[in-house]
């Protein structure tokens, strides 16, 4: 973790000026891009700047496709339209990866992402709702989620 040392402007000790990461947002982004999910969430609580950066969707895009060769550019527009990479990661990719961790094979990395994308799309469709009974639920019920099964704890 990079620590922020706020060197006082008035000090003139003849040393090199201290490195202040928040002055170099591009480097900061490069670093945060490589973090895992949990660290990224922790980073989001450091300060406003870090919070803004950590919530930026492109960082989550990296997380989603981390172990996979870069996807075609068409994926981005679809994912953004369906709710963005952060949502994709938190809702689908992360639970899928953690569940499959038990039985994972190396070749499945790409398929995991594809499956996550499909589930993500189904979830978006379900959330569309609209109309009195068109989403197949009685009025007044809690909103449906076909991703519910991913949120439930697994008895490992």
- Which residues make up the interface to another protein (CB under 8 A)? 72, 74-75, 77-78, 81-82, 95-96, 99-100, 102-103, 108, 111-112, 114-115, 117-122, 124-126, 128, 130-131, 133-138, 141, 144-146, 148-150, 152-155
Helices and strands in the chain, H and E counts: 9, 0
Q: Please give, one letter per residue, the 3-state secondary structure of the chain.
A: CCCCCCCCCCCCCCCCCCCCHHHCHHHHHHHHHCCCHHHHHHHCCCCHHHHHHHCCHHHHHHHHCCCCCCCCCHHHHHHHHHCCHHHHHHHHHHHHHHHHCCCCCHHHHHHHHHHHHHHHHHHHHHHHCCCCCCCCCCCCCCCCCCCHHHHCCCCC
């Amino acid at each position: 973790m990079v620590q922020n040392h706020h060197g006082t402007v008035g000090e003139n000790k003849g040393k090199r000026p201290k490195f202040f990461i928040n002055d170099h947002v591009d480097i900061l982004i490069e670093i945060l891009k490589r973090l895992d999910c949990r660290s990224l969430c922790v980073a989001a609580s450091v300060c406003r700047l870090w919070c803004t950066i950590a919530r930026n969707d492109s960082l989550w895009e990296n997380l989603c496709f981390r172990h996979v060769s870069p996807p075609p550019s068409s994926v981005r527009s679809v994912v953004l339209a369906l709710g963005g990479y952060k949502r994709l990661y938190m809702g689908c990719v992360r639970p899928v990866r953690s569940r499959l961790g038990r039985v994972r094979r190396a070749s499945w990395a790409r398929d995991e992402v594809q499956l996550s994308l499909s589930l993500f799309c189904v979830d978006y469709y379900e959330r569309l709702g609209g109309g009195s009974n068109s989403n197949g639920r009685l009025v007044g019920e809690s909103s449906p989620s076909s991703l519910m099964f991913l949120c439930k704890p697994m008895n490992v």
